[in-house]
Structure formats: structure tokens, C-alpha cells
């Protein structure tokens, strides 16, 4: 029995989930950041950030949604083989919805520069023309100048968007690239509310870095009454030594 148990443990150690789907090119992300992301140690990669149900881990959810996506693609590929016309119409509708959402996200996040949108490949020339028209229509009311390229044979549409505002991801950070104290403080409040809704009736304790606690105590916004109105007076926020972006919200 002991030898059998040893073999089982050994075989379990040999199992690993590896979804090699992303490749980083260039120097935008430093090697240490990439290593932290791969190890699930980067900011916003904990179970709470992904709203993973209690008892599960982020890696469980990755495997789960990978299999869901794989099954959906298998179903789509089968339908495309059985009925090319129906699958082509589905791909066109999907691409048009994606174009509208891409335009919304670019405006919402104040992103600009050279932008490439990777669409599902289309076979019919008429559908390609409809998609190009849909992209132009999605950006028709854009407050900034947009120059359009075209849809390549690989299904990539390129465009250039110019604007003078600071992108959203830069507004949330300090000049040194770290999340600002205000950003982390608001993240902590959301974490408290999220934990309170998941753990109904229980007291919620949250610890943040001293500088984040100082920002909250300064009362830049009336967050206390707003938070109490949402979840009641069942929370505490205290300071603890640690990195600025470390947030620990838990039910007692």
C-alpha cells in the first residue's frame, strides 16, 4: 500500500497545465514582471481579483474556461463544416459586435496610436466589405481623428487614433509606474464590498498599507457613509506594513 501511494503522488506531481498561448515581444514588460505574471504573483492576479468562488483557485478557473472555450470552438468548427453559410453569418455578426465594443473600449480607456483589431476570418468578399463599413461606423462619432487602413487577408484591421488625453491606465498610476495611493484605496473599498456581498452577515476586516490608510483617513471622498449604506456597519480597515498594492479583505 505504501508503494502504491507513493506512485500516485509521484504521478500527480508530473501533471501540469500549460496553456502556451501568449508571447511577449519587445521590452514593454520587464523580465521580472513577466516572471511574476507567470507565477500568478502580479498585482490583480489573486483569487479575489478574479472573483473565484470559495474553494477554487485561479488555476482551476483557467483550466475550466480553457475547456469551455475549446468546446465552443469545436462546436463552431463542426457547424461551419455542416453549414458554411450559417457559420459565415455567425462570424460576421460576431465581428460587427466586436468592432462596436472595440471602439467603445478605446474611447473609454483613452487609448490611441496604431491599433490592430484581429477579427474572425471571413470568406465572402461581401461580408468583408460589411465588416469594414461596420468598423468605420463604430468610430464615426469618435471625438478624435481616426484614420482607417483596411482588413488584411489574415483578418486584421488596422487604424490610427490620435488624442491628447492621458490614457486611463496612466491616470491610475504614479509617474514611477506604480498604482497610485488613491487607486489602491478605491480597490480596497471594492474588495471590502465584494467580500461583504459574498459573506452575508459576517464582519469584514481589511488591511492595507499605511499610506493607503492615511489617504482613506484624510477623507478625500465620503466613502464611509457610502460603504455603510451598501453593506452596513460591519467592516474595519486597518493599516499593516507591506507593499502599497497589498490588500487583504477577509470575513471574520
All domains of the chain in start order, with CATH: 24-82 (no CATH), 84-161 (3.30.1370), 172-251 (3.40.1260.20)
Position 122 scores a pLDDT of 87
Question: Does the model's pTM come out above 0.85?
Answer: no
Kindly give the parts of the chain with pLDDT less than 50: 1-19
DSSP-based three-state secondary structure for 78: helix
Position 45 scores a pLDDT of 63
Look up cell 480597490; give the residue: 187
Per the CB < 8 A criterion, the answer to whether 141 and 104 are in contact is: no
The b-or-e profile of 82-101 (16+ CB within 10 A means b, else e) is: eeeeebbeebbeebbebbee
172 secondary structure, DSSP code = T
Position 240 scores a pLDDT of 92
C-alpha torsion angle, residues 68, 73, 79, 82 (rounded to 10): -130
Q: Find, among 184, 189, 198, the residue nearest to 235 by Cα.
A: 189
**Distance between CA atoms of residues 141 and 116, nearest Å:** 19
Position 5 scores a pLDDT of 39
Position 159 scores a pLDDT of 93
Position 47 scores a pLDDT of 66
Amino acid at each position: 500500500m505504501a508503494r502504491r501511494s507513493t506512485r500516485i503522488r509521484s504521478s500527480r506531481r508530473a501533471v501540469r497545465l500549460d496553456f502556451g498561448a501568449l508571447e511577449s515581444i519587445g521590452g514593454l514588460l520587464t523580465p521580472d514582471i513577466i516572471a511574476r505574471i507567470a507565477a500568478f504573483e502580479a498585482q490583480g492576479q489573486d483569487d479575489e481579483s478574479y472573483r473565484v468562488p470559495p474553494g477554487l483557485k485561479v488555476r482551476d478557473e483557467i483550466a475550466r474556461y480553457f475547456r469551455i472555450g475549446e468546446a465552443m470552438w469545436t462546436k463552431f468548427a463542426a457547424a461551419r463544416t455542416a453549414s458554411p453559410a450559417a457559420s459565415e453569418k455567425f462570424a460576421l455578426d460576431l465581428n460587427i459586435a466586436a468592432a462596436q465594443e472595440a471602439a467603445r473600449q478605446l474611447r473609454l480607456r483613452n487609448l490611441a496610436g496604431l491599433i490592430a483589431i484581429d477579427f474572425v476570418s471571413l470568406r465572402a468578399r461581401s461580408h468583408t466589405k460589411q465588416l469594414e463599413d461596420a468598423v468605420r461606423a463604430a468610430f464615426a462619432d469618435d471625438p478624435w481623428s481616426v484614420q482607417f487602413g483596411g482588413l488584411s487577408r489574415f483578418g486584421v484591421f488596422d487604424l490610427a487614433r490620435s488624442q491628447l488625453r492621458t490614457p486611463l491606465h496612466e491616470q491610475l498610476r504614479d509617474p514611477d509606474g506604480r498604482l497610485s495611493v488613491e487607486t489602491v484605496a478605491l480597490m480596497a473599498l471594492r474588495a471590502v464590498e465584494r467580500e461583504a456581498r459574498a459573506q452575508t452577515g459576517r464582519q469584514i476586516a481589511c488591511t492595507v498599507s499605511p499610506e493607503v490608510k492615511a489617504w482613506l483617513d484624510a477623507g478625500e471622498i465620503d466613502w464611509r457613509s457610502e460603504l455603510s449604506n451598501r453593506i452596513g456597519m460591519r467592516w474595519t480597515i486597518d493599516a499593516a506594513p507591506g507593499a502599497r498594492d497589498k490588500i487583504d479583505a477577509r470575513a471574520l
